[in-house]
Amino acid sequence: MLEKKFNQSWKFWIDKDAFALVWNIPENAREIQLPHDAMLENTAHVESNNKGNTGYRDGDIYNYVKLINIPKDYKHQTAILKFEGVYMNASVYINGELAGKCPYGYSTFYVPMNDYLKYGEENEIRIIVRNGAMTNSRWYSGGGIYRDVYLLVSGLTYIVKDGVQVVTEEATKADATLYISTELKNRCHTVKELLLETTIKDLYGNVIAVDTIPIVLFEQEEIKMSQRIAIENPLLWSEHTPDLYICSSKLMKDGNVIDESESKFGIRTLQLDTKKGFRVNGVVVKLRGACIHHDSGLLGAATYDDAQYRQVMLLKKAGFNAIRMSHHPMSQSMLRACDELGVYVMDETFDMWNRCKSDYDYGLFFQEWWEKDVTAMVRKNFNHPSVILYSVGNEIPEIGLNHGAKICHQINEKIKSLDHTRYTLASINGVFASGDKIDRIVADVVAELSKEGKIDGNVNDFMTLMEGHMDEIVVHPVISERLEKACASTDIAGYNYMSARYKVDGEKYPNRVIVGSETYPPDIARNWELVEKYAHVIGDFTWTGWDYIGEAGVGIPAYNWGEGGFGAKFPCQLAYCGDFDITGFRRPVSYFREIVFGFRKNPYITVQNPYKYGEHLIKTPWILSDSVSSWTWSGCQGNPIVVEVYAPGEEVELVCNGKTLGKKPAGGKVGFITYFDTIYEAGTLTAISYEAGIEIGRMNLTTAGKKRNLVMTPEKINSELIYLPIELQDEHGTIITGEDISLEIAVEGAAEVAGFGSGNPKPCNNYNEKVTHTFGGRALLILKKNKNKGEIKVELSSDSGLKSQVCMEV
């Protein structure tokens, strides 16, 4: 089918009047271009009904209208609308009549148009998005048509969209066998005798193989045809060699092409067992995973290819080789990026089944819609080689009960009926699954710990117990019983925060493959040691790889109640628990993880907040420490300070202004973190790593000078989006981390501001404003090219009188 983007010239407005005798377009409707996150346009406010779930932003009822002239010859065509994601409760009306709907905010769905069209006339496409019932999400969902929309057009006999599926039956470096199925549909009332030509090409257009078969399609028939094609000397897809091919399918009549389709795919095989673990093309792979939510930081939920590609690229550069999309199906933009860059994907179905986690979430629709949404996810993913795992649900409370186990089995079987080539799991939190047995678990754990003298026997608060004794909780027999039912149907057991079970379950269940489907960032050293040690543990997915809007405060270090953590209050808007902040800046925990993975020889220096020295840090399990990689601390000369050094090797030495502060053990024997309690002295701080007495790496931190410069450097300008990181630097390029200033932006020419802000978890401005503040000396401007060609002029000014200017030609 001919597929073209349908993103331009939509009218948008907010309207809560569900009943109207005449559907008009109000005067206050404004023209927009998709993708569009309507929720991000709302300023965060303390009275929000969504509270911290969405970063204190409200949902609403969004209206989108597009007028389109439909040619008369469309009577003899097939027209379909494709929506890659609308959050949530989308109803699609064509000329005032309901043509399709989708309650789930993350599913790709299709709307056939022909029964509702007026040929040779103007037609109205209206989408009403009912996102006003709050709360309906535990994280920032965004709202509206936040992913791409396409218009699909073909003849009456055509190749069904997502209907070409390529399976690698076997593959070596010498040859591969592909099994290709193609779904065809005939809307005519006559028999069609056709040819189906399937051509395999490389990305340069070179033809690798061709196969042609005759097709007979009877009236109103839909069939699936299969072909088996041999490939010589295939390039096998993996994280190290993300080589792709194109499957070109043509439906022909009398030598003429009546429909065609192209699909990118990769040739690769997957294997799994407890003795060798997870393998790609026969090679053992340990998954270095990042859980992420779907928002794009300053862009909100609006999904752009450039933003998704940048995110995946930065995650892979930092050492990750896998992404878990939490907790819903991944966008097609990100799937394409993972294919091209070589990143494995765990795609997830739902965050809830029949028990809602928010007042008005998808749990209200699950029973009636889950099969359609599972089908949509699998068909969307089928030809993406990056997809290796399907999670049937995240932290489902009822999964260990009888009917929950049944639903788990049903979803698993549905996925297998659609795609038998990938592996399935459920991302299980044992504590959540224990549900009504928590009191018993608490009583048993407290009694045992009291007997051993490890805690005060009066402790009976579950949250308090979790903080220091999660390992004892998750190995309780009640959780074991629930896990047996929950894991019975899937290929893999997904353990959320249950690494204490890796060893014992490997012994008790010799055929249970385990993945750390969600883990605490500070635990990566311990977890990764277990992943590398045990074949049946195939990887670790940290929460999270990238910071996100919503779940406000869960990762913010605090010294007073309400500043961060579980008790975080407004203006906390971000979770702040990512290896990367929302702008793409790497935070200290990312370098810690890179060293644990063995990819970095240089140590990494970060400094605990000296202004809070000696105060009690309130932190959740997702917080490593309250530290910044800086040696510029105004007013702290001569004061005590704690330096954290993440280091490989056997020893690490800390040197300040040429004077050694001593050597201490480093590497795995101390969990890759070494602490130096010293006195702050401005100048240069150096950490040196040693192995067997020989230096293997070093890092310097230097105190910033007195001069201040605003520096803007475009990352690249040949894309739809242009990212311009902003830094406050001294005369030597050292970033001024402790003097945040107000910034104002002015843009002229062939672009407009798409997002402007920083990684501050408590921002003072909305990301669609032209004013923001630096955070840690940094900010980010994202531009979106408009229809014009020519120069883009960006002028940046600050409240301190600093200015910067960038001119680009596009």
Q: What is the structure's pLDDT at 464?
A: 58
Q: What is the structure's pLDDT at 463?
A: 58
Same domain, 318 and 413: yes
ω into residue 684 within 30 of 0, thus cis? no
For residues 140-157, average pLDDT: 98
Same domain, 375 and 310: yes
The DSSP 8-state label assigned to residue 386 in this structure reads T
pLDDT in tens, 167-215: 999 999 999 999 999 999 999 999 999 999 999 999 999 999 999 999 9
pLDDT band at 789 (very low <50, low <70, confident <90, very high): confident
Q: What is the structure's pLDDT at 19?
A: 74
Place of tokens 């997870």: 278
Query: Does 577 fall in a domain?
Result: no
DSSP letters, 214-274, are: EEEE-TT-EEEEEEEEEEES--B-SSS----EEEEEEEEETTEEEEEEEEEE-B--EEEET
Could you tell me which residues come within 8 angstroms of residue 403 by beta carbon, excluding any fewer than 6 positions away?
Answer: none
As a whole number, the mean pLDDT across the chain is 95
Q: What are phi and psi of 367, to 5 degrees?
A: -60, -40
The DSSP 8-state label assigned to residue 546 in this structure reads B
- Tell me the C-alpha distance between 251 and 258, whole Å: 6
Among 154, 177, 206, the domain boundary falls at: 154
Taken in order 547, 553, 555, 557, the sign of the CA dihedral is positive
The whole domain housing 794 covers 709-809
Q: Is the pLDDT of residue 59 over 80?
A: yes
ω into residue 385 within 30 of 0, thus cis? no
Query: Does 558 fall in a domain?
Result: no
Q: Is the pLDDT of residue 432 over 70?
A: yes
Percent of the chain with pLDDT over 70: 98
Same domain, 324 and 462: yes
Distance (Å) of CA 573 to CA 50, 549, 741: 11, 6, 20
Query: Does 775 fall in a domain?
Result: yes
Q: What is the structure's pLDDT at 402?
A: 94
Which CATH number do you get for residue 791?
2.60.40.10
pLDDT in tens, 675-693: 999 999 999 999 999 999 9
Percent of the chain with pLDDT over 90: 91
CA 261, chain centre distance (Å): 28
Could you tell me which residues come within 8 angstroms of residue 65 by beta carbon, excluding any fewer than 6 positions away?
Answer: 10, 11, 25, 29, 124, 125, 126, 127
Q: Is the pLDDT of residue 460 over 60?
A: no
Query: Does 574 fall in a domain?
Result: no
The DSSP 8-state label assigned to residue 612 in this structure reads G
Q: Is the pLDDT of residue 449 over 80?
A: no
Which CATH number do you get for residue 438?
3.20.20.80
Same domain, 630 and 682: yes
Same domain, 287 and 408: yes
Q: Is the pLDDT of residue 435 over 90?
A: no
- How would you classify the pairing of strands 222-232 and 771-773? unpaired
Distance (Å) of CA 758 to CA 258, 297, 581, 648, 726: 51, 9, 9, 31, 9
Compute the chain's Rg from CA coordinates: 28
Closest CA to 5 of 77, 62, 94, 66: 66
For residues 477-500, average pLDDT: 96
The DSSP 8-state label assigned to residue 720 in this structure reads S
- Tell me the C-alpha distance between 495 and 287, whole Å: 14
- Tell me the C-alpha distance between 394 and 399, whole Å: 10
Same domain, 6 and 132: yes
For residues 579-588, average pLDDT: 98
- Min mean pLDDT across 139-143, 464-468, 624-628 is at 464-468
Q: What is the structure's pLDDT at 22?
A: 73
Q: What is the structure's pLDDT at 456?
A: 59
Which CATH number do you get for residue 71?
2.60.120.260
Could you tell me which residues come within 8 angstroms of residue 465 by beta carbon, excluding any fewer than 6 positions away?
Answer: 442, 445, 446, 459, 473
pLDDT band at 462 (very low <50, low <70, confident <90, very high): low
pLDDT in tens, 528-541: 999 999 999 999 99
pLDDT in tens, 339-370: 999 999 999 999 999 999 999 999 999 999 99
- Tell me the C-alpha distance between 673 and 288, whole Å: 20
Query: Does 637 fall in a domain?
Result: yes
Q: What is the structure's pLDDT at 465?
A: 61
pLDDT in tens, 371-421: 999 999 999 999 999 999 999 999 999 999 999 999 999 999 999 999 999
Give ∠ CA 513-173-224 in degrees, rounded to 5. Answer: 75
Number of domains in the chain: 5
pLDDT in tens, 8-35: 999 999 987 777 767 899 999 999 999 9
Among 536, 551, 566, the domain boundary falls at: 551
pLDDT in tens, 694-733: 999 999 999 999 999 999 999 988 899 999 999 999 999 9
Query: Does 594 fall in a domain?
Result: no
Q: What is the structure's pLDDT at 461?
A: 53
Same domain, 181 and 111: no
Among 517, 533, 551, the domain boundary falls at: 551
